């Protein structure tokens, strides 16, 4: 192997080895911003503030719920407009979705957040499950592009019920 080729190979290897930690560091630095979007969604739900809720979603975002109806697994799809309208329509009970154990993965301008939740309607436990968020960085802001969830009343952690 000639010197020029060996030197190029060494430089390329060094570049790869130093780039990987930098990528991990920048992803770690973005985690608080990603989680802030999720928190803002739930704060908006509790406040019944449709403008706050709308602000965290990309306009073409989708909502997907995995459910079990009469023992059969099924999937429900919804656009964000119906959800945003429901949040902003006055209702007597506060919609309080409490989360724990968030897991955040980030690769460049794409992030996933997997989180356990308990949903309370007017302070009374309703159901639990997981929320799976997909977020993309648009300009300088993280936006939810997809939100999938599960919902169940049994098998919830004791602190939820």
Distance CA 33, CA 114 (A): 15
**Helix and strand counts by DSSP (H, E) for the chain:** 3, 6
Answer left, alpha or beta for residue 16, where phi above 0 means left and psi between -120 and 50 means alpha: alpha
**pLDDT tens-digit series, residues 30-86:** 999 999 999 999 999 999 999 999 999 999 999 999 998 899 999 999 999 999 999
Task: State the average pLDDT over residues 11-18.
Answer: 50
Tokens 């989680």 -> residue: 35
pLDDT of residue 24: 56
Distance CA 9, CA 6 (A): 5
pLDDT of residue 14: 45
Domain 31-150 class in CATH: alpha beta
Give pTM, 2 decimals: 0.82
Q: How many CA atoms lie within 13 A of 70 on its CB side?
A: 0
Distance CA 14, CA 4 (A): 15
Q: Over pLDDT 90: what percentage of the chain?
A: 73
pLDDT of residue 13: 52
The DSSP symbol for 1 reads -
Strand-strand pairing, 110-121 and 124-138: antiparallel
How sure is the predictor about 2, in pLDDT bands with cuts at 50, 70 and 90? low
Residue 7 clears pLDDT 60, i.e. is over it: no
């Amino acid at each position: 192997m000639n010197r020029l080729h060996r030197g190029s190979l060494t430089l390329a290897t060094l570049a790869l080895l130093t780039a990987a930690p930098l990528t991990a560091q920048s992803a770690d630095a973005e985690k608080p911003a990603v989680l802030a979007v999720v928190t803002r969604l739930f704060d908006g739900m509790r406040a019944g503030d449709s403008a706050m809720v709308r602000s965290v979603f990309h306009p073409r975002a989708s909502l997907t719920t995995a459910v079990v109806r009469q023992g059969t697994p099924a999937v429900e799809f919804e656009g964000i407009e119906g959800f945003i309208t429901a949040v902003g329509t006055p209702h007597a009970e506060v919609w309080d979705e409490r989360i724990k154990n968030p897991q955040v993965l980030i690769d460049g301008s794409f992030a996933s957040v997997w989180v356990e939740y308990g949903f309370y309607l007017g302070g009374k436990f309703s159901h639990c499950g997981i929320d799976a968020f997909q977020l993309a960085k648009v300009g300088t802001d993280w936006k939810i592009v997809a939100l999938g969830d599960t919902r169940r009343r049994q098998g919830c952690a004791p602190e939820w019920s």
